[in-house]
Amino acid sequence: MSKNLLKTSFFLFFLISALCQAQETDSTFWNGIGKRGSFGKPFWAEMHSSLIRAEVAYATNSPDYDMTGSDSADRAFVFSNLGVDIPIWSGEFDNGRYGLSFTLPFMIDIFYDYFEPKTSPVINTSYRFGFLDTNFIYRLASPHPVLPFFNIYNWSLKLTLLKHESTHIGDELTIYRKDMSFPITRVDVLSNYGELVFTLNDPDNQSRSNHGFRFGFLVNYNSKYGWYSILNTEADPDTVEPARFPFEFHIQYQYQSPYFSRGFQAIVSAEYRLRQRYKYSYSYSGVGPDTYKEHNLVNCFNFFTGIRYDNRSNNYFSKIGIGARYYFGLNPYGQYRSMPHFRQLGMAIIFE
């Protein structure tokens, strides 16, 4: 299936390039190569996005990754996300009424126990990359008022035919579990999926007040093995069940204020996501019963609020933000997605 998706993506890209004679008269197809579009960028509250984010937070402690045996319910950790949407092509049509862009998303999530005194281990690293993000936007000729404080400016679609996710547990934790002969040393978490997202009021790199809404779902192509698999040398097969529910759904909202004080904006962002819990014990040690077996589909919430500075260019790092984030739901980090009651509260800096 992956090969067919790649062929379809290439065909779509070259078909669009052949049709680009309809593009604005002062531009050509070649002028759009490597150009970054003004739309289709992630909202702040998107849990796994291509934004660059560094965060220090108190998060749920767990015997899964608590090497020092702390009894605290929550501990301080460091989280970072390194991401980029590599621009392939972007163009405007009909005097800016329509826009189209292609990007290659790439991101790395790192869960780091910087404050652990013995080794400060990396707990989990996740990699995600996609081929090919196709973004389309339609801009209304004039704002359509719905409420006194809410206008409709545009709508857009993003289609990703193929995204790949792979996660890796930290080396120190893997060695420790192997030395202790735990029933689960590691789980091979990987998936190939497609995603479709509809946006009402994309910020579109505008300075206006904007209420944006996103609705999306993704489908896992590997219906036979689900989201992960195991090797008999790394886990007892009796302790791991497949998680085959192939869909995820999400709703996002983001408000940005008008500029104040020379380029600053207030940002409020939220995400709700319905995800499947991984079907193995959240404690790799196998100590104690799994009291959360009844949790299959779990509601996950992510809230972000802060201040962003915009230097009004369309380049990378043209927007820098700082704010507070609160997450509750499944542990979103790789192999720990079997933990249903995970919370995280911290301060983060974001580069867009």
Question: Mind listing the pLDDT tens digit for each residue in 21-49?
Answer: 444 444 567 888 999 899 999 999 999 99
What percentage of the chain reaches a pLDDT higher than 90? 62
Domain boundaries, the chain: 2-254
- Confidence at residue 293, expressed as pLDDT on a 0 to 100 scale: 66
Whether pLDDT at 210 is above 80: yes
Range ranked top by mean pLDDT from 20-34, 239-253, 288-302 = 239-253
Beta strands in the chain (DSSP E): 52-60, 74-93, 98-112, 122-130, 133-147, 150-169, 188-200, 210-220, 228-229, 247-256, 264-276, 297-310, 319-329, 342-351
Whether pLDDT at 225 is above 90: no
- Confidence at residue 238, expressed as pLDDT on a 0 to 100 scale: 83
Whether pLDDT at 300 is above 60: yes
Whether pLDDT at 112 is above 80: yes
- Confidence at residue 203, expressed as pLDDT on a 0 to 100 scale: 96
State how far Cα 167 lies from the chain centre.
14
Which residue matches tokens 């369309």?
A: 314
Evaluate whether 120 touches 78 at the Cβ level (below 8 Å).
no
Nearest to 162 by CA among 49, 311, 272, 2: 2
Q: Residue 287 and residue 124: Cα distance in Å, rounded?
A: 21
For residue 87, give Cα distances in angstroms to 51, 105, 214, 263, 274: 14, 9, 22, 25, 30
Mean pLDDT of the chain: 88
- Confidence at residue 25, expressed as pLDDT on a 0 to 100 scale: 43
- Confidence at residue 5, expressed as pLDDT on a 0 to 100 scale: 54
Residue type, 54: A
Whether pLDDT at 72 is above 60: yes
DSSP state letter for 260: B
Whether pLDDT at 13 is above 60: no
Q: What is the pLDDT of residues 249-289, one digit of tens each?
A: 999 999 999 999 888 999 999 999 999 999 887 666 555 55
Q: How confident is the model at residue 179 (pLDDT cuts 50, 70, 90)?
A: confident
* DSSP bridge partners of 310: 319
- Confidence at residue 9, expressed as pLDDT on a 0 to 100 scale: 55
Average pLDDT of the residues in 193-201? 98
Whether pLDDT at 133 is above 50: yes
Whether pLDDT at 137 is above 50: yes
Residues 40-53 as b or e (16 or more Cβ within 10 Å = b): bbbbbbbbbbbbbb
Of residues 84 and 180, which shows the higher confidence score?
Answer: 84
- Confidence at residue 21, expressed as pLDDT on a 0 to 100 scale: 47
pTM confidence score: 0.88
Average pLDDT of the residues in 236-253? 91
Nearest to 132 by CA among 7, 47, 273, 317: 7
